[in-house]
Amino acid sequence: MERIKEAIEKAKTQREASEASPQAARSAIRQASATSPEALTVADPDVHYQKTSVVELDLAHLENSRIVAHQKSHPVSWAFDLLRTQVLQKMDENGWRTLAVTSPTMESGKSVVAINLAIGIAQQTNRTSLLVDFDLRRPRVATLLGLQREVSLNQVLTEGAPIEDAMVNPGIPRFVVLPTQRPVPSSAEVLGSSKVAALMGELREHYADRIVIVDLPPVLAADDVLALLPRIDCVLMVVGNGVSTRKEIEESMSRLSKFNLLGVVLNKDDAPIGNAYY
């Protein structure tokens, strides 16, 4: 705690002494975060997008992709608000900051749930969210959001590109995406590498108010999920209604049993949509 206080005071002093120079102010923020990552949240919130590209998304494309959490008037958005609240409460209780989203099998809608959940978390004014597409076999986040990036997680993993060059803010405050544009060969080996371990540590610790959501492949597709989950605090499983068999769900639960399973989301339910209160 004392280190955090000292870092805050140091950043404040340096910032006051350099108000006329934005470059000097940014330097003070970086020095404070180097002393204590938690101190960064008391500095200028605009620091989040000084190096992150900001793009505007096609709203019609988002709705066609079932990305609706940003539309409070949409009849489905309340369901993602409820999921967000439940997820954050459980994560806060345990001090968790990183969450993986997976499913038993393909076509369960896990990527749609991951994106909507990340947007919902970013709508909390005291939070930021980062969505990482670590489904290296079948990346879908960029396609669902309509993002076309020259630099993505592919270049970070294979060419050593800086992480900030691959990150993008899709026009939604406090929300950042680290997309993957193309499948990555030997994905399980990549996810289990020391490079990815260091990357996850950097993404988790850089901002104290950040929740990192990681979109992973289906549990039964390969060993990718098991390779990365030791680096992640907890996992949420999305089950598509009528998509996975009971045996597949039970096998997935068994494989995840040694990790912190936050819960199971039933997706593609055909029950009537409604919220009587509103």
pTM: 0.78
Residues 142 and 256 in one domain: yes
73: alpha, beta or left? (left if phi > 0; alpha if psi -120 to 50) = alpha
Q: Are both 28 and 67 inside the same structural domain?
A: no
Nearest residue to 184 (alpha-carbon basis) of 217, 226, 233: 217
Mean pLDDT across the chain: 81
Q: What domain count does the chain have? A: 2
pLDDT value of residue 70: 85
Residues 88 and 133 placed together within one structural domain of the fold: yes
* Separation of alpha carbons 274 and 270, rounded Å: 12
Please indicate, yes or no, if residue 110 is contained in any of the structural domains: yes
One domain for residues 92 and 177: yes
234 pLDDT above the threshold of 90: yes
Contact 142, 180 (CB under 8 A): yes
- Which is it for strands 128-133 and 98-102: parallel, antiparallel or unpaired? unpaired
Give the structural domain span for 196.
Answer: 53-267
Asked whether residue 272 is assigned to any structural domain, the reply reads no
Residues 59 and 9 in one domain: no
Residue 165 lies in a domain: yes
Q: What is the pairing mode between strands 128-133 and 210-215?
A: parallel
- Three-class secondary structure of residue 238 per DSSP: strand
Q: Assess whether 112 and 241 both reside in one domain.
A: yes
Number of other CB atoms surrounding residue 84 within 10 Å: 23
Quick check: 213 and 133 in contact, CB under 8 A?
Answer: no
At 205, which CATH number? 3.40.50.300
The DSSP bridge partners found for residue 131 are 177, 213
Crossing angle of helices 77-94 and 110-122, in 10° steps, is 70
Is there a domain that residue 133 lies in? yes
How crowded is residue 69: how many other Cβ atoms within 10 Å of its Cβ?
A: 28
- Find the mean pLDDT for residues 216-222: 94
- The answer to whether residue 278 is domain-embedded is no
Tens digits of residue pLDDT in 109-142: 899 999 999 999 999 989 999 999 999 999 999 9
Q: How many other CB atoms are found less than 10 A from the CB of residue 137?
A: 18
Q: Answer yes or no: do 129 and 30 share one domain.
A: no
Model confidence pLDDT, tens digit, residues 155-171: 999 899 999 999 999 88
Q: What does the pLDDT read at residue 100?
A: 97
| Together in a domain, 222 and 119 | yes
- Residues 93, 26 share a domain: no
Residue 274 lies in a domain: no
Same domain, 256 and 214: yes
- CB count within 10 Å of CB 64 equals 11
Structural domain includes residue 273: no
Across the beta sheet with 53-54, the strand order is: 53-54, 168-169, 175-178, 128-133, 210-215, 98-102, 234-240, 261-267
- Residue 235 forms part of a structural domain: yes
Tell me, yes or no, whether 6 and 69 share the same domain.
no
| Residue 135 CA from chain centroid, whole number | 13
88/211 Cα distance (integer angstroms): 9
Q: Do 216 and 150 have their domain in common? A: yes
